[in-house]
C-alpha cells in the first residue's frame, strides 16, 4: 500500500510540475513588456582606484556588452533620507487632518500639543506647528539628498543594469561575467514593486555570515520555542504571580480574577507567541539579505514549515518540548528515531482529526468571514483615521500571506500521507479541508486580496521540495511503525522508497527547475523580434528611466512609479475588485538603500 501511495503521489507531483513549468513559459511568452524583462541586478562590483562605481559599471558593460547595454541605475545607501521621508509623510498627514478640521469649523483654529502624539507639552496652533515641521524636514531632506550625491561612501557596489533586448538581458543574467566568480555577480532583477530596498545596501560579503547566523538562530527558535512560552505561562499561575509581584496578592485572591488567570492566561500567552511568530520569521529572512519580497516570502515559508513539522507534528506525537525531543533523539541511535516516532502515530489519529476540524475547517471559515480584518478596520476607522489617505490604508485588504498559508496547507498534506495507510479514517477530513480551501482561497485571490507582486510561479520549486520532504517523512515513519510491530522483513522492503523518492526529486529538479530560474534565449529572441516589428519606434531608455527609482527619491510625489501602475493594471489573473489608490506598499520606502537613474554619462542625476 505504501508503494502505491508513493508512486501515485510522485506521478501527480510530476504532472503538476510539468503543468506549472509549461504555464510559466506560456506566461513569460505572453506577458506584456515589463522593466524586469530588460534589467539585471549586479552585485559585488569590485572597487577601482581610477573610477567611481557609476563609471566602473558603465565602462564594464560598454566593453563586455557593447551591442546590448542601454543604461544603469546605481544603488545608494539612503538610510537617513528614508527616515526623513517617512517623518515628512507623517507630518503631511497630520497637517492635512488639521486643515480639513479648520475648513469644517473656520471660526476657531485647531490646536495641538508639542509632545509626542499631541498628548502633552505646550499648546500651539496645529496648522502652523505642522507647517513649520514640514518646512524643517524639507530642508533636512534636501541637505541629506545633497550629502548622498556627494559622498562616495553612499554608493553601494551594486546597480540595476538595463539592456536593449531580452536576449541580451538573458545572456548577462545567466552567465558568469568575470574570471573571478565572486565579483560582478548578476541575477534577474525583481520587478520594481517586488524589490525590497532595505537589503540592497547590505554589502554582499556579509550575506554568508548573516545567513549562517540566521540558520543557527532558527535552530534555537524551533527547538527552544516552548521555553519562553513556559516562562510566561508559569507567571500565569497564582503562585508565580505572587512570587514576582507580591503586592498584587489581594487582587489575585479575588474569585473572578483567579478564574481568569487560571483559565485564560496560559492559552492567551501561547496564542500571542504564535501570532508574532510569522513576524519573527520574516525579520530573520530580512536579516539574511534577500532583495525581493517574493524571495522573502519563500524563505519565511521554509522556516515556518520546519517550525510546524517540529513543534506541531512531532510535538503532538511525542510528549515534551521540542528541546526535550531533540535531547531524546540525540541520546539514541539514528535508526531508532523513526521507531520512536512511529510507535506513537496510530495513537494520535483521533487528536489530528480534532486538530483538522478545529484548526483546518475553522481556519477556512475564518478566512472567508475575515472577522479579524473587519474588527481591525472598524477600530482604525474609529480611532486612527484622520484623512482620506488613512481611510484608504484602513480599507486595504492586504495580500495573501504565502509565508504562513502555504506551509499550513503542506502540513495537512503531510498528515494525509502519514495516515493514508495507518488510519485511513483521517482522509475524509483532509479531503473536505482541501476542497473548502480550494474554493475559499480561489475566491479570496480573485475577489478580495491585492496582488503584491508577480513572480511567475517561482514559488513552485520550493513547494515541490517540501512536498517531497513530507513524502519522505511519511515513508520513514511507516518504516519505524512496522519495525515496532516486529515486521522486520516488510520493513526491509520499504528501504528503497526514500531513495527512489529522492531520485525522483533530483530528476524533476533537473528536468523542470531551470524553467523557474532561467529564460530560454530562443523565447527571448522571439519576443524581441515581435516587439521590434510591432513597436519599431519604442524608446526603451525613456521607458526604463524611472523603473528602479526608489520611492524616497520621488521628492514631493509620494505615488508609485508609472511602471508599477502599469503592472497592476495588467494582472495575471483578472479580478473583480480594483486596488485602492493608496496601499501600505506605497509607504515601504523607509529603507537603507535607494537607486537613482544613471544615463550614459559620468554623473548620477535624480529623477
User: What is the predicted pLDDT for the residue at 42?
Assistant: 92
pLDDT band at 69 (very low <50, low <70, confident <90, very high): very high
pLDDT band at 565 (very low <50, low <70, confident <90, very high): very low
Residue 217 reports pLDDT greater than 80: yes
How many whole angstroms separate alpha carbon 498 and alpha carbon 479?
Answer: 10
The predicted model gives 215-238 an average pLDDT of 73
How many whole angstroms separate alpha carbon 285 and alpha carbon 418?
Answer: 30
Q: Which helix or strand (DSSP H or E) is residue 140 part of?
A: helix 126-150
Q: What are phi and psi of 266, to 5 degrees?
A: -60, -45
| Greatest mean pLDDT among 266-280, 292-306, 553-567 | 292-306
Cβ neighbors of 113 (< 8 A, separation 6 or more) are 119, 120, 121, 122, 123, 124
How many whole angstroms separate alpha carbon 446 and alpha carbon 100?
Answer: 36
pLDDT band at 267 (very low <50, low <70, confident <90, very high): low
How many whole angstroms separate alpha carbon 342 and alpha carbon 483?
Answer: 9
User: What is the predicted pLDDT for the residue at 583?
Assistant: 39
Model's pTM, two decimal places?
Answer: 0.81
What b-and-e string marks burial along 73-101, b requiring 16 or more CB atoms within 10 Å of the CB?
Answer: bbbbbbbbbbbbbbbbbebbbbbbbbbeb
The predicted model gives 413-442 an average pLDDT of 91
Q: What are phi and psi of 350, to 5 degrees?
A: -65, -40
How many whole angstroms separate alpha carbon 347 and alpha carbon 79?
Answer: 55
User: What is the predicted pLDDT for the residue at 591?
Assistant: 42
Residue 430 reports pLDDT greater than 90: yes
Residue 142 reports pLDDT greater than 60: yes
The predicted model gives 190-204 an average pLDDT of 86
Give the number of residues written for the chain: 607
109-113, 293-297, 441-445, 575-579: range with lowest mean pLDDT: 575-579
Cβ neighbors of 273 (< 8 A, separation 6 or more) are 225, 228, 229, 232
Yes or no: say if 564 and 169 are a contact pair by the CB < 8 Å rule.
no
The predicted model gives 417-433 an average pLDDT of 90
Residue 385 reports pLDDT greater than 80: no
How many whole angstroms separate alpha carbon 204 and alpha carbon 159?
Answer: 12
**C-alpha cell belonging to residue 552:** 524616497
User: What is the predicted pLDDT for the residue at 230?
Assistant: 60
Average pLDDT, the chain: 80
Residue 328 reports pLDDT greater than 70: no
Tell me: the pLDDT tens digits for 530-547?
Answer: 989 988 888 888 888 888
User: What is the predicted pLDDT for the residue at 584?
Assistant: 38
User: What is the predicted pLDDT for the residue at 189?
Assistant: 92
Q: What are phi and psi of 527, to 5 degrees?
A: -65, -40
Q: Which helix or strand (DSSP H or E) is residue 124 part of?
A: strand 123-125
User: What is the predicted pLDDT for the residue at 599?
Assistant: 40
**C-alpha cell belonging to residue 221:** 527558535
**C-alpha cell belonging to residue 32:** 506584456
Torsion of CA 414, 418, 424, 429, to 10 degrees: -20
**Burial grade of 165 (CB within 10 A; 0-12, 13-18, 19 or more):** buried
In this predicted model, which residue has the larger pLDDT, 267 or 153?
Answer: 153
pLDDT band at 53 (very low <50, low <70, confident <90, very high): confident
User: What is the predicted pLDDT for the residue at 579?
Assistant: 47
Handedness of CA 404, 405, 406, 412 (dihedral sign): positive
**C-alpha cell belonging to residue 351:** 487528536
Q: What are phi and psi of 160, to 5 degrees?
A: -95, 120
280-284, 328-332, 552-556: range with lowest mean pLDDT: 328-332
Q: What is the longest distance spanned by two Cα atoms in the chain?
A: 92
Residue 116 reports pLDDT greater than 80: no
Residue 335 reports pLDDT greater than 70: no
- Beta partners for residue 71, in sequence order: 162
How many whole angstroms separate alpha carbon 475 and alpha carbon 341?
Answer: 12
Amino acid at each position: 500500500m505504501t508503494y502505491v501511495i508513493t508512486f501515485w503521489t510522485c506521478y501527480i507531483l510530476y504532472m503538476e510540475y510539468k503543468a506549472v513549468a509549461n504555464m510559466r513559459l506560456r506566461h513569460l511568452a505572453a506577458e506584456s513588456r515589463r522593466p524586469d524583462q530588460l534589467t539585471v541586478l549586479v552585485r559585488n562590483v569590485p572597487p577601482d582606484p581610477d573610477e567611481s562605481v557609476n563609471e566602473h559599471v558603465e565602462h564594464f558593460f560598454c566593453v563586455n556588452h557593447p551591442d546590448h547595454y542601454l543604461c544603469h541605475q546605481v544603488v545608494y545607501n539612503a538610510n537617513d533620507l528614508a527616515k526623513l521621508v517617512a517623518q515628512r509623510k507623517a507630518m503631511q498627514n497630520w497637517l492635512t487632518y488639521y486643515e480639513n478640521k479648520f475648513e469644517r469649523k473656520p471660526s476657531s483654529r485647531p490646536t495641538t500639543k508639542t509632545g509626542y502624539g499631541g498628548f502633552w507639552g505646550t499648546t500651539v496652533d496645529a496648522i502652523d506647528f505642522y507647517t513649520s515641521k514640514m518646512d524643517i524636514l524639507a530642508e533636512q531632506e534636501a541637505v541629506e539628498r545633497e550629502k548622498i550625491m556627494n559622498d562616495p561612501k553612499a554608493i553601494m557596489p551594486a546597480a540595476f543594469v538595463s539592456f536593449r533586448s531580452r536576449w541580451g538581458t538573458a545572456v548577462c543574467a545567466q552567465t558568469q561575467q568575470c574570471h573571478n566568480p565572486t565579483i560582478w555577480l548578476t541575477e534577474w532583477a525583481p520587478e520594481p514593486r517586488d524589490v525590497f530596498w532595505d537589503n540592497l545596501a547590505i554589502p554582499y560579503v556579509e550575506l554568508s555570515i548573516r545567513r549562517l547566523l540566521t540558520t543557527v538562530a532558527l535552530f534555537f527558535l524551533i527547538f527552544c520555542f516552548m521555553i519562553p512560552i513556559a516562562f510566561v505561562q508559569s507567571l500565569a499561575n497564582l503562585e508565580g504571580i505572587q512570587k514576582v509581584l507580591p503586592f498584587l496578592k489581594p487582587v489575585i485572591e479575588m474569585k473572578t480574577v483567579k478564574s481568569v488567570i487560571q483559565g485564560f492566561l496560559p492559552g492567551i500567552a501561547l496564542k500571542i507567541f504564535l501570532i508574532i511568530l510569522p513576524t519573527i520569521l520574516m525579520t530573520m529572512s530580512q536579516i539574511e539579505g534577500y532583495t525581493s519580497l517574493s524571495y522573502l516570502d519563500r524563505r519565511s515559508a521554509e522556516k515556518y514549515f520546519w517550525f510546524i513539522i517540529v513543534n506541531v507534528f512531532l510535538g503532538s506525537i511525542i510528549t515534551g518540548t521540542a528541546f526535550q525531543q531533540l535531547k531524546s533523539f540525540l541520546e539514541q541511535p539514528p535508526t531508532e528515531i523513526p521507531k520512536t516516532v512511529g510507535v506513537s502515530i496510530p495513537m494520535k489519529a483521533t487528536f489530528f482529526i480534532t486538530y483538522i476540524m478545529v484548526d483546518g475547517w475553522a481556519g477556512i471559515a475564518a478566512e472567508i468571514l475575515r472577522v479579524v480584518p473587519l474588527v481591525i478596520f472598524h477600530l482604525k476607522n474609529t480611532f486612527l483615521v484622520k484623512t482620506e489617505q488613512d481611510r484608504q490604508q484602513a480599507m486595504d485588504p492586504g495580500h495573501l500571506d504565502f509565508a504562513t498559508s502555504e506551509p499550513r496547507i503542506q502540513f495537512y498534506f503531510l498528515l494525509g500521507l502519514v495516515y493514508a495507510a495507518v488510519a485511513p479514517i483521517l482522509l475524509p477530513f483532509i479531503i473536505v479541508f482541501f476542497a473548502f480551501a480550494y474554493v475559499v482561497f480561489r475566491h479570496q485571490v480573485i475577489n478580495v486580496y491585492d496582488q503584491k507582486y508577480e513572480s511567475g510561479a517561482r514559488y513552485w520549486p520550493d513547494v515541490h521540495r517540501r512536498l517531497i520532504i513530507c513524502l519522505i517523512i511519511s515513508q520513514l515513519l511507516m518504516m519505524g511503525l512496522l519495525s515496532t510491530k516486529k515486521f522486520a522483513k516488510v520493513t526491509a522492503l520499504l528501504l528503497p522508497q526514500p531513495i527512489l523518492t529522492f531520485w525522483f526529486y533530483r530528476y524533476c529538479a533537473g528536468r523542470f527547475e531551470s524553467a523557474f530560474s532561467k529564460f530560454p534565449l530562443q523565447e527571448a529572441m522571439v519576443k524581441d523580434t515581435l516587439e521590434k516589428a510591432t513597436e519599431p519606434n519604442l524608446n526603451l531608455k525613456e521607458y526604463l528611466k524611472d523603473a528602479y527609482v526608489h520611492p524616497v527619491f520621488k521628492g514631493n510625489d509620494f505615488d508609485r512609479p508609472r511602471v508599477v501602475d502599469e503592472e497592476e493594471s495588467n494582472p495575471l489573473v483578472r479580478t473583480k475588485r480594483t486596488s485602492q489608490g493608496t496601499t501600505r506598499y506605497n509607504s515601504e520606502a523607509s529603507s537603507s538603500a535607494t537607486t537613482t537613474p544613471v544615463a550614459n554619462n559620468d554623473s548620477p542625476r535624480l529623477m
